[in-house]
A = this chain, B = another copy of it.
Amino acid sequence: MARRRSGQPGIVTLQDVATAAGVSRSTASRAFSRPDLLLPETVDRIHSIAHRMGYSLNHAARALSTGRFGNLAVIVPDIGNPFFPPLVRKIEAGADTVDYAVFLGDSDESAVREATLVARLSNQIDGLVLASSRMTEDQIRAIAATKPVVLINRDLAGIARVLVDVKGGVTEAVGHLKRLGHTDIAYVAGPRESWSEQQRRQSVVAAGTAAGLTVTVLELGRPSHEAARDIVSALVDSGATAVIAFDDVVAQGLLAGLDARGIDVPREFSVVGCDDILAATTQPPLTTISGGSAAAGEAAVELLLRLIDGHPAAGDERVSIGTHLVVRASVGRVNRRR
Q: List the interface of chain A (C-beta within 8 A of B).
A: 8, 10, 56-61, 63-64, 67, 69, 71, 78-80, 82, 84-86, 88-89, 92-93, 96, 99, 101-106, 108, 113, 117, 119-124, 145-146, 225-226, 249, 252-253, 255-256, 259, 279-283, 285
Contacts and interface: CB of A to CB of B under 8 A. Distances in A.
A103 B106 contact: no
B99 A120 contact: yes
5 contacts: A59-B124, A80-B85, A101-B124, A252-B281, A283-B283
A88 B64 contact: no
Contacts of A282: 283
Number of copies: 2
A96 B116 CA distance: 10
A252 B106 CA distance: 28
Contacts of A124: 59-60, 71, 101, 124
A27 to B, nearest CB: 21
Given A103-B104, A120-B99, A60 B56 contact: no
A259 B283 CA distance: 9
A58 B102 CA distance: 18
Contact of A92 (B104, B253, B281, B285): B104
Contacts of A119: 56
Nearest to A58: B123
Contacts of A101: 103, 105, 117, 120-121, 124
Contacts of A57: 123
* Most chain B beta carbons < 10 A, residue from A84, A96, A226, A279: A96
A92 B106 contact: yes
A280 B56 contact: no
A167 B256 CA distance: 31
A225 B89 contact: no
A256 to B, nearest CB: 6
B79 A89 contact: yes
* Most chain B beta carbons < 10 A, residue from A58, A60, A252: A60
B281 A123 contact: no
A82 B278 CA distance: 11
A54 to B, nearest CB: 9
Nearest to A60: B60
A220 to B, nearest CB: 16
A51 B101 CA distance: 29
Contacts of A113: 96
> Which A-B residue pairs are the 8 nearest by beta carbons?
A283-B283, A104-B104, A60-B60, A92-B106, A58-B123, A60-B63, A79-B85, A80-B85
A64 B58 CA distance: 9
A288 B189 CA distance: 31
Given A60-B60, A67-B8, A105 B86 contact: no
Contacts of A108: 93
A59 B123 contact: yes
Given A8-B67, A64-B64, A69-B60, A281 B79 contact: no
Given A84-B85, A101-B103, A101-B121, 19 more contacts: A10-B145, A56-B122, A60-B61, A60-B64, A78-B89, A80-B86, A80-B89, A88-B104, A93-B108, A99-B120, A101-B105, A101-B124, A103-B103, A225-B279, A225-B280, A225-B281, A226-B280, A249-B281, A255-B283
